[in-house]
Structure 1
Amino acid sequence: MTSIADQIAGPPVADAAALAKGDAVAAAAPAITLPVAGERELRLDLFRGLALWLIFIDHLPPNILTWFTIRNYGFSDATEIFIFISGYTAAFVYGRAMLQAGFVVATARILRRVWQIYVAHVFLFTIFLAEISYVATSFENPLYTEEMGIMDFLKQPDVTIVQALLLRFRPVNMDVLPLYIVLMLFLPLILWLMKWKADVTLALSAGLYALTWHYDLYLTAYPNGVWFFNPFAWQLLFVFGAWCAMGGARRMSRILSSPVTMWISIVYLVAALYVTLTWHVPQLGHMLPHRVEEWMYPIDKTDLDVLRFAHFLALALITARFLPREWSGLKSPWLRPLILCGQHSLEIFCLGVFLAFAGHFVLAEVSGGAALHALVSICGILIMSGMAWLISWYKHSADKGASKTKGTGGNADMAGGGA
């Protein structure tokens, strides 16, 4: 499957006439500003790859590497990074398609991508169930089925499979892709509204977020409960990412570059760090006023608490300020594994879910200390990086073969990837 990030560049411009036509279309929608054709934002790949690594580590039992994930030092975690970048890159790709090819064609491409993600989710669900069921049966340990949330599947497989196809039944660690599918389904409407008024679209998204908190809007899950990531709330982060890609970040450049904004972000990050330290070091809790605790807790992840959203914004602002697009480190071979994982995010995410349970099984069955925990985590990251390199190598080889075929007059359509 083709990663969204792989398609940021879009198709090459055929000639000067096509370029002039594209400029005329863009002029008709001044709210939308897209990158130059062929331009690539490696920072997006880097941080999406980092998010995938962090999600994998957080899904394992606590270990040494867990202390290197951002959830231990603030209110937000890797999920916010993943959803924001997904909205940003999706707007990059399909915003260009909407400007150049129109609403119908862009919608068709988006629905095709939604179908790819849905098929990946169903495939992951099947493999995940088979993995857990095999381990639980072979080692005669039914606790695995309970811990991973598939007990209802074993009791009523017919009903549960239907609910899984409807995205209402999800085992543990399989909540992100259903959220992503729902958000992508509404991307055509989001982009159409942003073509009209980008700022109004963001305001409508914020209004839906506020209504979600006020009226407790949610989607139900099977057999009980609600979606762990409430789409009515998390859409704000996705839409905000799309808004930034569509010129919002450029229009906020003065605010983002302001020293006042930077220091406010730093102070907020330090305050969030102190609060999270009180979770691990209770002795520090007495310095936190009781009224602040009453106002602040619980910091809800399901409905994307405002404190989590603000923490992500502060992190993003500091990162964008001190990590420029031209940073030479983005070409470093040490960061190449992260960038490759980010470029093939769908495949690597699915692999990470599979590896997380495998690591959980190893740590549960084999007695070992901190060294074994760290080894399992590092092995998982190496496997993810190796798979990303293999996919990249295969795509590169396929593209070279397609170019040769095209040069000899053959049909190269089969080598391409759709949007």
Structure 2
Amino acid sequence: MTSIADPIAGTPRGDSRGTFAKDDAAAVVSAPAITLAVAGERELRLDLCRGLALWLIFVDHLPTNILTWFTIRNYGFSDATEIFIFISGYTAAFVYGRAMLQAGFVVATARVLRRVWQIYVAHVFLFTIFLAEISYVATRFENPLYSEEMGIMDFLKQPDVTIVQALLLRFRPVNMDVLPLYIVLMLFLPVILWLMKWRPDVTLGLSVLLYALTWHFDWYLTAYPSGFWIFNPFCWQLLFVFGAWCALGGAQRMFRILASPVTMWICTAYLVAAFFVTLTWHIPQLSFLMPKRIERWMYPITKTDLDVLRFAHFLALAALTVRFLRKDWSGLKSRWLRPLILCGQHSLEIFCLGVFLAFAGHFVLAEVSGGAFMHALVSVAGILIMWGMAWVISWYKHSADKDGSKTKRTGGNADLAGGGA
């Protein structure tokens, strides 16, 4: 005797066994190939690393000082830019990948384009304030070198043409190259997510292919008035797509590889080797330790086209970070790491503020004092201001949520990469 619950529970009866098997096979074929984590508590490790990247970018944009020696670019091939772009790809895929699965391609694309517009407006606003800041300082202190060092001489000569080129993302002063790169990458995010919805590994393979073809055919985007983009989107898309691939299930599939002791020792050995190579850059007396054949093969390690050695260095850092920085580590909720996490949670605003503060610090060091104490004071003051701004933004958003003025919250790491999807 059978129960009416049997077919509902999936228990096949009589000749219907073949029908159920066919239905199961069809469901497997039609199901998306990607997997998404359950929305809920923020991934504080991402916020922590993104906040750290913002601080490092700010310090690296200042003239060389004591704190500069604490940034990762002095101890390996990659720097904070790789961290920033990878996490941006990861968080963008996390937020808009869910929208792609739940609402479809059109809705997800509309949300991505809305975020692209927000970032574009932020870039134009930052460009305007940055130009005003540099122009005022150069005029007030009668020092045209500021305009030359910050790359705005062409704007002062032909402001009408330069403004149009800036709106087209072809003209950018010094330190304003990351947001245009991110805008371009985000424009292609809907296509990336649509492909990853069904064939994530193939999508990553196509990204690798584009990277290889760019190196082979020397593809690039031109800049105004001459030259090319400092960050070649055709190459840096690999890091962005890899971040998206990890967010959509790739990291889970790599768990055994990442947990392997062999992987840990390979990553450690590579990081140590990279450290000794960079040591020869800072101490020329040690250059004799580098075999000439390896130098010819290795150099130049270009940042513009995301050299393979830089990408591998970032992968090694990421693998060790995931291994030793656990998601449930209690330190992520400590007050000592709260400033970094807050900055990472509001990365668009803090990045723009960091660019503004970097030139202000450059001005103070040039006009007031260039001593070691002033270098350290400027660096620490800039970081404290970034933390203060992040705290104010967080307080304001929290107050708005309590008052009910915000009707929808996101459960992921939405800020610069995701926005308020």
TM-score, length of structure 2 as denominator length: 0.90
CA displacement 1:122-147 (0-9 Å, x = unmatched): 00000000000000000000000000
Q: Is the 8 A contact 1:32 1:195 kept in 2?
A: yes
Larger Rg: 2
Q: Secondary structure at the match of 1:168?
A: coil
C-alpha separation in 1, matches of 2:29 and 2:185: 28
Select 1:302's aligned residue among 284, 287, 304.
304
Q: Distance in 2 between matches of 1:27 and 1:76?
A: 40
Q: Write out per-residue CA displacement over residues 273-320 of structure 1, whole angstroms, 9 at most, x where no aligned residue.
A: 000000001111111111000000000000000000000000000000
Say yes or no: does 1:366 pair with 2:368.
yes
Runs of 4+ residues deviating >4 angstroms: 25-28, 412-417
Cα distance in 2 for partners of 1:320, 1:76 equals 17
Q: Following TM superposition, by how much is the alpha carbon of 1:39 offset from its aligned partner in structure 2, in angstroms?
A: 2.9
How far the C-alpha of 1:270 sits from its partner, in A, is: 0.2
Contact 1:208 1:232 in 2 (8 A): yes
- Contact 1:136/1:142 (<8 A) preserved: yes
SS in 2 for 1:31: coil
Distance in 1, matches of 2:319 and 2:224, equals 38
Pair 1:149–1:39, CA change in 2 (3 A): same
- Counterpart CA distance in 2 for 1:414 and 1:30 is 26
State the 1:414 CA deviation. Answer: 9.4
In 1, the alpha carbon distance for the partners of 2:97 and 2:240 equals: 14
Q: What amino acid sits opposite 1:399 in the alignment?
A: D
Describe the shift of the 1:27–1:366 C-alpha distance in structure 2 as closer, same or farther (beyond 3 A): farther
> What residue number does 1:14 align with?
none
Which residue of the partner structure matches residue 312 of structure 1?
314
Which of residues 120, 129, 142 is equivalent to 1:140? Answer: 142
Task: Assess if the C-alpha contact under 8 Å between 2:34 and 2:198 holds in 1.
Answer: no
Work out the CA distance in 2 between the residues paired with 1:88 and 1:131. Answer: 34
Please tell me whether residue 261 in structure 1 is matched to residue 263 in structure 2.
yes
Equivalent residues of 1:29, 1:195 under 8 A apart? no
Question: Quick one: which of 64, 67, 84 aligns to 2:66?
Answer: 64
- The one of 93, 98, 111 equivalent to 1:91 is 93
Structure 2 SS opposite 1:224: coil
Note the 1:102-181 alignment, pairs <5 A.
102-181=104-183
Q: Is the 8 A contact 1:233 1:304 kept in 2?
A: yes
Q: Partner amino acid for 2:287?
A: G
- Say yes or no: does 1:222 pair with 2:224: yes
1:240 aligns with one of 239, 242, 249: 242
Q: State the secondary structure of the residue aligned to 1:53.
A: helix
Cα distance, 1:40 vs structure 2 = 1.6
Equivalent residue in structure 2 for 1:189, among 191, 208, 223: 191
Paired residue for 1:10? none
**Structure 2 Cα separation of the partners of residues 136 and 219 of structure 1:** 30
C-alpha deviation, 1:220, in angstroms = 0.1
Percent identity over the alignment? 84
**Kept in 2: contact 1:26–1:32 (CA 8 A):** no
Q: Deviations over 1:141-188 (max 9, x none)?
A: 000000000000000000000000000000000000000000000000
Name the counterpart of 1:74.
76
Q: Distance in 2 between matches of 1:125 and 1:241?
A: 28
Give the deviation of 1:118 after TM superposition: 0.1
1:28 Cα offset (Å): 4.8
Note if contact 1:49-1:341 (Cα within 8 Å) is conserved in structure 2.
yes
- In the TM superposition, what are the counterparts of 1:389-404 in structure 2 within 5 Å? 389-402=391-404
**Residue in 1 that maps onto 2:378:** 376
Q: Which runs of 5+ in 1 are unaligned?
A: 1-24, 406-411
Aligned to 2:388: 386
- The one-letter code sitting in structure 1 at the alignment partner of 2:135 is S
TM-score, normalising length: structure 1: 0.90
Whether the aligned pair in 2 keeps the contact of 1:26 and 1:99 (CA below 8 Å) is no
CA–CA separation in structure 2 for the residues paired with 1:79 and 1:112: 24
SS in 1 for 2:199: helix
Q: Deviations over 1:337-359 (max 9, x none)?
A: 00000000000000000000000
Deviations 1:228-285 (A, max 9, x none): 0000000000000000000001111111111111111000000000000000011111
Residues 65, 375 of structure 2: 8 Å contact kept = yes
Structure 1 counterpart of 2:352, from 350, 353, 364 = 350
Q: Which amino acid aligns with 1:312?
A: F
Report the CA distance between 1:37 and its aligned residue: 2.0
SS at match of 1:58: helix
Instruction: Give deviations 1:96-130, integer Å, cap 9, x for gaps.
Output: 00111111000000000000000000000000000
Note closer, same or farther for the CA distance 1:396–1:345 as it changes in structure 2 (3 Å cut). same
| Contact 2:409 2:420 survives alignment (8 Å) | no
How many residues are paired up? 388
Unaligned runs of 5+ in 2: 1-26, 411-418
Letter aligned with residue 398 of structure 2: H
Q: Distance in 1 between matches of 2:420 and 2:290?
A: 53
Q: 1:282 is aligned with what amino acid?
A: P
Amino acid across the alignment from 1:107: T
Distance 1:195 1:206, change over 3 A: same
Give the distance between the partners of 2:160 and 2:31, measured in 1 at CA.
49
